[in-house]
Amino acid sequence: MASSRMRAAGVWLTGLSLAVVLAACASRGAVDSVRLGAAQVEPGQWMSYGRTWDEQRFSPLDQINEGNVARLGLAWYDDLNTFRGVQATPLYVDGVLYNASVWNVVTAYDARNGKVLWRFDPKVDRQWARLACCGPTTRGIAIWNGKVYIGALDGRLIAVNARSGRQVWSVQTLDTTQPYSITGPPRVFDGKVVVGNGGADYGVRGYVTAYDAERGNKLWRFYTVPGDPSKAPDGEASDSVMPMATKTWTGEWWKYGGGGTAWDSIVYDPKLNLVYIGTGNGSPHVQAFRSPGGGDNLFLCSIVAVNATTGQYVWHYQMVPNEQWDFTCTQPMVLADLQIGGRARQVLMQAPKNGFFYVLDRATGELISARTYVPNLWASEIDMKTGRPIVNPLAYVTTTPQLMTPTWMAAHTWHPMSYSPLTGLVYFSAQEQWTVQARVPDGEFRFVPWRSNSGNSFTADPERRRALQKVADSREKGYLLAWNPATQTEAFRVPYKYPGSGGVLTTAGNLLVQGTIDRTLAIYRATDGSKLWESPVQTAPVAGPITYSVDGVQYIAINAGWGGSPVAGLAAENPPVRMGPARLLVYRLDAKGVTLPAMAPPPAVPAPPPLRASEQQIQEGRRIFGETCSRCHGENAIGGLKDLRFMTPETRREFNAIVLEGTRKEKGMAPFKDLLKQADVDAVNAYLVARANEDYQDYIANPQ
């Protein structure tokens, strides 16, 4: 199933050295530096987020391969008791599968049959859901020395005993008076647990912190943007580089947080003793309001390399100077050793929101190459002499609505990508989504804590906006992209009708595995993209799949649960596409007799109430919806987690209580009474009634 002569931690392991490593693996759950550094010696394990520290998401297992994958069947599954998006990559260690669902509920299973060994619920207060644009989800957990680590949505870093599921320790990583949250997976290495946070949309200052894996005490912290320069230094690892970063900001950005949150991508390189941090967008989004004199605004949308031991700055590369498009560089990073131009290079690869695929020297931060992989109105190319983008002058955000792509919905978002050393290709979910962008006029920006503070306008020139939105929706598409990082060329693509397909896994069996927006799990040939197998799963699995081996049998596991950025086309279907409940699905060869329950019949689309609101109230509702609701419920109220155009009469009657009092907070709809007044909610309701009346006749006229 895998070569007996494997390379681990940069050293060839044979004979006695291999035996020593394997002996260290014998104690169940004893994941440590030796074991993770030598992960290739144990191809059947999946002990960290990307399987190995380089996060290539490539498995040497080949029992399931292109020749027999047609025999794959569902071995077992577990209902996760939610219809929300489940984004976590499971972990597998020594016969146990560890998984995280919404609200950071972690379950340990017997990996052979799905028997629940324990379940831990950190009891996250449901109000935190409104601070996470993709819902109350997590992208994963970490394991080290008999402990499972949870980065909870409410900011707690929790260590749980891997055998019993009992809490060992918990530490609060956030200032809970600020609108931070955690959705990214913790990373663990060399006795340290490293965790970032989110919240740039709401007005916070980003940072990353390392904690002692045994006791939970803080070891170092690195701030990703400068604070108030009139105050004393933070007393943190980032102090030495903050004067340099401060020179790239103007105005009083610190009053708005600044942003730059590291909400997902953190990667460790044991060879160089570096931690790479991918940073996020500015706060607020529109640069004119946070840094009115311009400037690069370091370290927004950058890769920052810090010393793994001390957290001290080593180098940075900024993908998006002058960030104002809600671009982030928090998308997955992959480390690899490549031959480029006849030269061996240690590289870091990333395909962030802005639509360019970057290859950097991971020791120095030098830009090796960059090429756009989607239609791009933001920049024509990256200047190889300066490393800076050549930005289209028309891409800068103005008060006039205009079409833009890539967008905040991303050319490639958080969905994990995979690098196969066998094919030399990187595989990831790419998408083309367009948006209508404009900012509010000077003097009209109002910063409201705990609310999305983009600075964008959602009401300017409504007729022009409406016409452009139709164009934007018509251009939406998605595909699985195979990309050659050495030549910066596309190898092949697998097209989908809509964006939104999930994370990717490759294996030595020449398999390319992905959950699709077509509500299937699909497996393709990694060398050419030919479809080898596909199974309907009732929802779109967006999480990263894994594969593992126990008792000589290889399995493929994935969380299937739709959630994330809006997809207009899904809601435009008549009737709208329905997603089933979230489940953990596990497959093996020749498995039979396990099937998913049939979905209930779809409900009828209810007719909207008559529109009686004034145009002024509707436009005010449009503005409030755009600022407060659109991240979860879609631009123009289309394509979100819950389509609010066609609410049931019961939901319409309860609308005020749902929004203000949080009567459905158990389903993730937190109360907004601290941000919205009754008049605001009435305006939003009026806007939604107007949108329902605009679109309902199209549904009636075009039944399927």
CA angle centred on 684, ends 353 and 606, rounded to 5°: 95
Q: What is the pLDDT of residues 72-114, one digit of tens each?
A: 999 999 999 998 899 999 999 999 999 999 999 999 999 999 9
Asked if pLDDT for residue 665 goes beyond 90, the answer is no
Quote the tokens at residue 512: 């390319």
**Phi first, then psi: what are they for 79, rounded to 5°?**
-70, 135
- Asked if 353 contacts 327 with a C-beta cutoff of 8 angstroms, the reply is yes
Give mean pLDDT, residues 407-417. Answer: 95
Give mean pLDDT, residues 267-272. Answer: 98
CB atoms within 10 A of CB 387: 17
Quote the tokens at residue 50: 């990307």
Query: Which DSSP category does 47 fall into?
Result: -
- Asked if 293 contacts 306 with a C-beta cutoff of 8 angstroms, the reply is no
Cβ burial, residue 561 (10 Å; 0-12/13-18/19+): buried
Residues 6+ positions from 689 with CB-CB distance below 8 Å: 608, 609, 611, 613
How many angstroms separate the CA atoms of 531 and 522, rounded? Answer: 7
Give mean pLDDT, residues 220-228. Answer: 98
Q: Could you please report the per-residue DSSP string of 414-440?
A: SS--EEETTTTEEEEEEEE--EEE-BP
Residues 6+ positions from 471 with CB-CB distance below 8 Å: 403, 434
pLDDT confidence bin for 694, thresholds 50/70/90? low
Quote the tokens at residue 645: 């155009």
Torsion of CA 617, 619, 625, 628, to 10 degrees: -90
Quote the tokens at residue 560: 């299937």
Q: What is the pLDDT of residues 448-473, one digit of tens each?
A: 888 888 999 988 898 999 899 999 99
pLDDT confidence bin for 492, thresholds 50/70/90? very high
Asked if pLDDT for residue 333 goes beyond 60, the answer is yes
Q: Quick one: pLDDT at residue 9?
A: 36
Q: What is the pLDDT of residues 532-576, one digit of tens each?
A: 999 999 999 999 999 999 999 999 999 999 987 788 888 778 777
Nearest CA to 175 among 412, 449, 519, 555?
A: 449
Q: Quick one: pLDDT at residue 26?
A: 43
Which amino acids are annotated catalytic? 326
Residues making up the chain, counted from first to last = 704
Q: Quick one: pLDDT at residue 12?
A: 37
Give mean pLDDT, residues 52-73. Answer: 98
Percent of the chain residues past pLDDT 70, beyond the cut:
93
**In terms of DSSP H, where are the helices of 241-315?**
242-246, 287-290
Q: Quick one: pLDDT at residue 20?
A: 46
Determine the angle formed by the axes of helices 678-701 and 615-628, rounding to 10 degrees. 100
Q: Quick one: pLDDT at residue 398?
A: 95
Asked if pLDDT for residue 200 goes beyond 50, the answer is yes
Q: For the chain, what is the total number of helices (H) and then of strands (E)?
A: 11, 41
How many angstroms separate the CA atoms of 225 and 223, rounded? Answer: 6
Give mean pLDDT, residues 253-272. Answer: 97
In this prediction the pTM is 0.88
Asked if pLDDT for residue 53 goes beyond 70, the answer is yes
Asked if pLDDT for residue 602 goes beyond 70, the answer is yes
Asked whether the CA dihedral 309, 312, 316, 321 is positive or negative, the reply is positive
Cβ burial, residue 112 (10 Å; 0-12/13-18/19+): middle
Q: Which domains does the chain have, with CATH numbers?
A: 615-701 (1.10.760.10)
Q: Could you please report the per-residue DSSP string of 556-608?
A: EEEEE---SS--HHHHHSSSPPP----EEEEEEET--S--PPPPPPPPPPPPP
pLDDT confidence bin for 135, thresholds 50/70/90? confident
Give mean pLDDT, residues 427-431. Answer: 98
Strands 58-59 and 187-189: unpaired
At 548, which helix (H) or strand (E)? strand 546-550
Q: Quick one: pLDDT at residue 644?
A: 84
- Asked if 87 contacts 559 with a C-beta cutoff of 8 angstroms, the reply is yes
pLDDT confidence bin for 633, thresholds 50/70/90? confident
Looking at per-residue pLDDT, the higher value among 662 and 580 belongs to: 580
- Asked if 285 contacts 71 with a C-beta cutoff of 8 angstroms, the reply is no
Strand partners, 195: 209
Q: Quick one: pLDDT at residue 697?
A: 60
Looking at per-residue pLDDT, the higher value among 363 and 657 belongs to: 363
